Structure 1
Amino acid sequence: MSCSIPPDSGKLLAGQRVVVTRPREQSSELAARLRMLGAEVIELPAIETRPPEDYTGLDAAIAQLNTYDWLVFTSANGVRFFLQRLKALGGSPDLIGARICAIGPATRAALEQAGLRVDLVPREYVAESLIEAFAEYPLEGRRILLPRAAAARELAPQALRQRGARVDVVEAYRTLPPADLPRRASMIFGAQPKPDWVTFTSASTVVNLLTAVGAESLRDVRIASIGPVTSAAVRRFGLEVAAEAQVYTSEGLVEAIARSLKGF
């Protein structure tokens, strides 16, 4: 599936004020795409990534890295923190002999930039599609390592275990709301006029922002979501999603906003 903003679209989003809640170090692509279409971008990181408080699980997995048949990465952050720790322990990406599965193009790009070959990319960028992608591979007795955020859905590990795989889920990083999020969010959503749109790229950004500022503050702001899992998090707060990406990427998110406004 590919995105399809017409090449002659011009400034489709001119006059639209759009809040971007991605982590600061990951917001540049989304912000650039929005600005290219004429939007005014308001950056409000609703999530920060930090190393784990305890490296015990990750270090134990790295120590037996050659025993795994598959490494599964669900985010570019997981790749970054995993490889940082691998190198800190004296290892190298060259030592990875397992096959590698990556969810999403950003995750794949992070792996390939590190010189790693990606063997499997699910058709869609959610856990359900990951399970489908493994359907053709024998998993009975296979060892799978899944380095990821401390708080994440259990669907994929459970489904892989049901097929007989031995899955080790280890914390490679953790996510936290920025300390200044309540103050900054109150300034942005408490002022008039309010932003036209707020974008959410994960369930964590939804929970952090709405916990900080309250769902009522976003009643008159259109919400754009990167995919169904994120949209479900929005609806749990009693809010509606005005635009949901068909392709679960920054490009797909921008296209969803443009489609909602222009109907192409």
Structure 2
Amino acid sequence: MSDKKVVALTRPISRSKEAINLIEGYGGEALVVPTLELELLNSQSLKDFMSEIDNLDWLIFTSVSSLDSIFKFYPDFNDKLSDNCKVAVIGHKTAEVTEKYGLKVDLIPKDYTAEGLLRSFKDIDIKGKKIGIPRTYSARNVLPDTLEKWGANVILAESYRSILPHDVSKIKDLINKILNKEVDAITFTSPLTVKNLFKVAEDNKDDLAKVLSNNVLTVSIGPITGHTLEDFNVKYIYPERYTVKDMIDLMFKSF
């Protein structure tokens, strides 16, 4: 019988490669069951945003998906962007992808959250500045709301959408595996990965929460996703640095 640790990943397959490699490097087995799908959008708000980009003072990317969306629909984006526009990102992975797309990163916070980015903006005069944020509309509003409160003119654009997969049969299989204690650990990388799992669980919500708390090592990428786990009464751990690598390293140290 194999003593390999089975680790469930709930993020989209296209975003799971790094985690799979890390888990297998530790001798574990990755079970990829996305509880959400990402849909790239060229929404009306993104079209409106594109008409403003030569006037932007700051551009903020909070996820890789926003970059993928913009460069899918607007491959000449870099030519349109003002040379004076500075770029801020949340997270080292987003910074890497931003630079791959040919953009220079001017600001990355130590704490990879909206709050961390806001702390970095505290010493920057943004009054009257135009700040563009392409993102999903399901994201928290603390970032744009606070920047506006500080006097910035914030332009939000819906560049992608997180949706529940159309076929939830694999998610139901995952829930059964968790309840049958066939999963050793599970990772969550956004609040929606948690919410969608419990949405599919339906009548098994309480049992699922108990098993995730007591029989499965539940790991959140950071405190924001962790708060959603708390809403469902799930005990969890999270790393000091909110990255996939730190999350997987912490998991295997904790076994």
TM-score (ref. length: structure 1) = 0.87
AA paired with 1:76? V
* Alignment partner, residue 43 of structure 2: 55
Aligned counterpart in structure 2 of residue 248 of structure 1, from 209, 223, 242:
242
Deviation (angstroms), 1:163: 1.0
* Alignment partner, residue 64 of structure 1: 52
Aligned counterpart in structure 2 of residue 38 of structure 1, from 13, 27, 30:
27
Report matched runs for 1:170-249 at 5 Å.
170-181=157-168, 183-191=169-177, 192-213=180-201, 214-215=204-205, 216-220=207-211, 221-241=216-236, 243-249=237-243
Aligned counterpart in structure 2 of residue 139 of structure 1, from 97, 121, 126:
126
Tell me the distance in 2 between the aligned counterparts of 1:95 and 1:119. 18
Deviation (angstroms), 1:218: 4.7
AA paired with 1:204? L
Tell me the distance in 2 between the aligned counterparts of 1:43 and 1:15. 15
Deviation (angstroms), 1:185: 2.3
AA paired with 1:172? S
Report matched runs for 1:5-154 at 5 Å.
15-52=4-41, 55-87=43-75, 91-97=76-82, 98-154=85-141
For structure 1, the 5+ residue unaligned runs are 1-13
Deviation (angstroms), 1:51: 2.6
User: What secondary structure does 1:244 align onto?
Assistant: coil
The count of corresponding residues between Structure 1 and Structure 2 is 242
User: Structure 1 vs Structure 2: percent identity of aligned residues?
Assistant: 28
User: What secondary structure does 1:122 align onto?
Assistant: coil
AA paired with 2:8? V
Tell me the distance in 1 between the aligned counterparts of 2:142 and 2:43. 24
Deviation (angstroms), 1:230: 0.5
Tell me the distance in 1 between the aligned counterparts of 2:165 and 2:171. 11
* Alignment partner, residue 151 of structure 2: 164
Tell me the distance in 2 between the aligned counterparts of 1:122 and 1:107. 12
User: What secondary structure does 1:258 align onto?
Assistant: helix
Deviation readout 1:224-251 (Å, 9 max, x if unpaired)? 100000100011011111x212111111
User: What secondary structure does 1:212 align onto?
Assistant: helix
User: What secondary structure does 2:132 align onto?
Assistant: strand
User: What secondary structure does 1:219 align onto?
Assistant: helix
Contact residue 83 and residue 93 of structure 1 kept, 8 A: no
TM-score (ref. length: structure 2) = 0.90
Tell me the distance in 2 between the aligned counterparts of 1:239 and 1:65. 42
Contact residue 12 and residue 34 of structure 2 kept, 8 A: yes
Tell me the distance in 1 between the aligned counterparts of 2:130 and 2:77. 20
User: What secondary structure does 1:157 align onto?
Assistant: helix
Tell me the distance in 1 between the aligned counterparts of 2:181 and 2:93. 34
Tell me the distance in 2 between the aligned counterparts of 1:238 and 1:76. 30
User: What secondary structure does 2:138 align onto?
Assistant: coil
Larger mean CA deviation between 144-153 and 14-23 belongs to 14-23
User: What secondary structure does 1:60 align onto?
Assistant: helix
User: What secondary structure does 1:246 align onto?
Assistant: coil
Deviation (angstroms), 1:21: 0.7
User: What secondary structure does 2:59 align onto?
Assistant: strand
Tell me the distance in 2 between the aligned counterparts of 1:164 and 1:75. 24
